[in-house]
A = this chain, B = another copy of it.
Amino acid sequence: MTWSKTKQKIIEPAFSNNEGAEGKRILCYDEAIREALQLALSRDKRVFVMGQGVDDPDGMFGATRNLHLEFGPERVFDTPLAEGAMMGVAIGAALAGMRPVYFHNRPDFLLLAMDQLVNHAAKWSYMFGGAAFVPLVVWACIGRGWGSAAQHSQALQGLFMHIPGLKLVMPGTCHDAKGLMLAAIADQNPVLILDHRFNFNYKGMVPPEAYTVPIGKGVIRRKGRDVTIVAVSHLVIDACHAAQEAAAYGVEAEVIDPRTLRPLDEEIILNSVAKTGRLIIADCGWKTGGITAEIGAMVAEKGFTYLKAPIKRIACPDLPTPAACNLDEACSIGRDNIKKALLELTR
């Protein structure tokens, strides 16, 4: 596959209501990712997919279903439970000319691979003055619910956003899930994709051909003049709904989906705040030192003069996730939290 020739789609179709979707092909989120993998595997023999359970009968969240049958067990394979070494194996394979896609069904397990991911993958190109490089895609699913509790519910984007040398991608639509996966595989560098489990409920327009969505470019999902909401992953759709509801009160929110957290499209955020003067950041990770911290501080540093009001940070409470569903729900954030913040900020 000649990645450089892959068409780049910058314009994202309207997605929350699938406006203009008539006659377009609609796929589920897992199908969109699977199609990206399928295309990459067919077009580029350097690409392979590894990870615990990728060859399970159901595939990983459906996204890898039967790929091992189509491409053989050499190119789509299960791994031992050895997250530390397997991350190193993926790095080594990338160094030696392959394009591994390494799936993890929880980011919690990435903590076993932090040394390889942070000390090795993220630093390799720099450390050797560009002599070698690591075209590696690491994919993990975040999300909570059903009492999964403290070790199976983390949304660790706040950790990974701190690491120079690692690109961090969090798609919010089916279209982007496919296009960002292909962009990540085409990238010459380590890219971490975090997909929220809730996203797997989405359907959306997904063009059948191979296309990439650029890493590092955000998109405005809804235009508005009063408040800017930067929302991450599944919260993009929540933010759009909240904005819709707030519109009834005369508040017009602009919703930005950054799509990539690192590199972050600071410009799109600053331009929006320049217009609205108000900023809400919504993230499903922990608050302290997380995504909302970086984006908030960035605006307080570079867009201070635009700000007419304090920034608002909506994020999960700084707690391990409790199992009991009433407590778990009390920790979750979504449309209502965003709406509340919107109305408070414009009151």
Q: Taking beta carbons and an 8 Å cutoff, which residues of A are in contact with B?
A: 84, 108, 111-112, 114-115, 118-119, 122-123, 126-127, 149-151, 158-159, 161-162, 164-165, 262, 264, 286, 288-302, 304-305, 307, 309-313, 318-320, 322
Contacts and interface: CB of A to CB of B under 8 A. Distances in A.
B290 A301 contact: no
Contacts of A286: 162, 164
Given A150-B123, A150-B126, A159-B162, A311 B304 contact: yes
11 contacts: A112-B114, A114-B114, A126-B150, A127-B150, A158-B162, A161-B289, A164-B288, A165-B320, A262-B288, A293-B294, A301-B313
Q: Which among A159, A289, A313 has the highest number of chain B CB atoms within 10 Å? A: A289
B320 A310 contact: no
A262 to B, nearest CB: 7
B289 A162 contact: yes
A94 to B, nearest CB: 17
A202 B88 CA distance: 40
B289 A300 contact: no
Given A111-B115, A111-B119, A123-B320, A294 B288 contact: yes
B320 A297 contact: no
A126 B328 CA distance: 13
B108 A119 contact: yes
A300 B294 contact: no
A252 to B, nearest CB: 22
A264 B318 CA distance: 13
Nearest to A291: B289
A273 to B, nearest CB: 12
A285 to B, nearest CB: 8
Contacts of A262: 288
A237 to B, nearest CB: 24
Contacts of A291: 289
Q: Which among A118, A149, A319 has the highest number of chain B CB atoms within 10 Å? A: A118
A320 B128 CA distance: 11
A322 B129 CA distance: 9
Contacts of A112: 84, 114-115
A196 to B, nearest CB: 18
A87 to B, nearest CB: 11
A312 B320 contact: no
A134 to B, nearest CB: 13
Given A295-B297, A297-B297, 12 more contacts: A84-B84, A84-B112, A112-B115, A126-B150, A162-B286, A164-B286, A289-B289, A289-B290, A293-B293, A293-B298, A297-B313, A300-B310
